[in-house]
Amino acid sequence: MKWSYSIARISGIDIKVHATFALILAYGAFRWGFPKGFEGESSLPGAIFGMGLMILLFTCVVLHELGHSLVAQKFGLTVREIVLLPIGGVARLEKNPEKPLHELLIAAAGPLVNVAIAVLLFFAGGLAVSFGALEGRTLFQTTDGPPTLTTLWAWLFTANVALALFNLIPAFPMDGGRILRAALALKMGFSRATRIATGVGQAIAFAFGLFGVLSGNILLVVVAFFVFMGAGQERAEEQARAVLTTLRVGDAYNRHALTLSPGDHVSKVVDYILTSYQPDFAVMQGNGFLGVVTRDDVLKTLATEVTDLYVAGIMRRDVLTVQASQGLDDVRRLMGEKGERIVAVNSGEQFLGLVSAEDIGEALVVSSFVQLRDRRRATAEAEAD
C-alpha cells in the first residue's frame, strides 16, 4: 500500500504504518492535551499520555491482525503485510483460504486475541481498574482528572472488549461476517454461503443506519454505510471469483492483436489506435517479446514531445509475465497485488499475447452471461420434461 512505512517484521510479515496514522496520534494528543477543548488549559503531559494511549491501542490492533496472520500461515497461506491505518489494521493475505474451516479459524483468531488481552488486563489491573476506574466514561471520552496508570489500564481493557465485540458482528468486512460465511459454507457451497452472509450483513447495516438516523448518531450512520458497501463488495468479489476460476488466462488474450517493432514510430501507434479498438500493443523483435506500449504511453508522449519518437523509446520493458495455464482469477488477484493493469501471457517461453484488466472484466461479463443463459436453458428443459 502506498504511503506505508515498515516499522517491524514478525514471522516474515512486514508491519507497516500508513502516513495517515499520524491523524490518530494527533487525535489522542488533542483529546488529552485539551480535555475541555481549546477554551481550556493545555497539558503537555496529557498530550503525551494521549499519544501513548493511541500507540498502545494500536499495538492491540497489531496483535489482533497477527492473530489472523499466524493462523493463516499455519494453513500455508502467505501474509504479505499488516498495515496500520487511522481506522484500524489490515492484514493482506496473498489469497483467501479455500476451506471453510480454515477461514473460520483465521477469522476467529483476531477477536480471540483481544479477549485474551482483556482478560490479562482484567487480572493485571484488578477489579478496581476494570470497573471502578471507568466511572461511566466510554472509550473516546476525556477525563477531568490527570492521566493515571489506572485510567490507561481501564481504557485498554474497554478498547479490547469493544474490538472483540465489534469484530464479531456478523457483517462483512468484520470478522463476524467471515465467521458466519465459513460456518454456512461447511453445510453448503461457498458462493451460496457468501450470498446469505452478505445479505445478513447488509440487513444489519441497514438497521444500524436507521437507528443512527433516528438517534442523530452520524458516526453510526457512516459505519453502517461502509459495512453495507463492504458486504456488497464481498458478494461481487465472490461472484467474480466463482466465474473466473472456470477460465484460464489462455482463454482471454487477443489471438489477432496488432503488434509493433522497436523501430516503428509513435505515429504508427496513433494510426492503430484510431483505426482499431486495441489500446495495448506488444513490441516484438521477431518472435521475441520486448515490451508494451499502451494508449496512455502514446498520449503522454504526444503531450510532451514534438518529434515522432521510436516505439523503443517509450515502451515499458518490465512487464509481469504469466502462463496461459494459470487461472484467470489467480492472475486477476496477482495483478491487483502488484498494481499492474496488463500482463504478458506465455506458453512456456513462447509469448502468446497480452491480457489487461479490461480484458478480464470483459471475460467476466461474457462468462457470467453464458452461465446464466445455460442455467435458464437447463431450468426450462427440466420444466418441459
What are the pLDDT digits (tens) for 210-244?
Answer: 998 998 888 788 888 888 888 888 888 887 887 88
* Alpha-carbon gap, residue 44 to 32, rounded angstroms: 9
Cell readout for 24 is: 490518530
Question: Is pLDDT above 90 for 64?
Answer: yes
Question: Which among 328, 333, 334 is positioned nearest to 368, based on CA atoms?
Answer: 328
Q: Is the pLDDT of residue 133 over 50?
A: no
Query: How many C-beta atoms lie closer than 10 Å to residue 183's C-beta?
Result: 17
| pLDDT for residue 135 | 45
pLDDT at 138: 42
Q: What is the mean pLDDT of the chain?
A: 84
* Lowest mean pLDDT segment, chosen from 31-40, 139-148, 321-330, 350-359: 139-148
The total of other beta-carbon atoms located within 10 Å of residue 355's CB is 26
The answer on 183 and 292 residing in a single domain is: no
pLDDT of residue 322: 93
In a domain, 380, yes or no: no
Cβ atoms 41, 55 nearer than 8 A: no
**Which pLDDT value is given to residue 142?**
40
Residues 145 and 77 placed together within one structural domain of the fold? yes
In a domain, 142, yes or no: yes
Q: Is the pLDDT of residue 137 over 50?
A: no
- Is 80 exceeded by the pLDDT of residue 209? yes
Residue 370: inside a domain: no
| Final residue before a domain boundary, out of 197, 213, 244 | 244
Categorize the per-residue pLDDT at 125 as very low, low, confident or very high, splitting at 50, 70 and 90: low
Three-class SS state of 260:
strand
User: Do residues 219 and 262 both lie within one domain?
Assistant: no
Please state the rounded mean pLDDT for residues 351-373: 86
CATH code for position 327: 3.10.580.10
Q: How many domains does the chain have?
A: 3
Segments forming the whole domain that contains residue 195: 172-244
Same domain, 162 and 17: yes
- The verdict on 7 and 124 lying in the same domain is yes
Mean pLDDT of 65-84: 90
206 with 157, same domain: the answer is no
Q: Is residue 285 part of a domain?
A: yes
Residue 377, domain member (yes or no): no
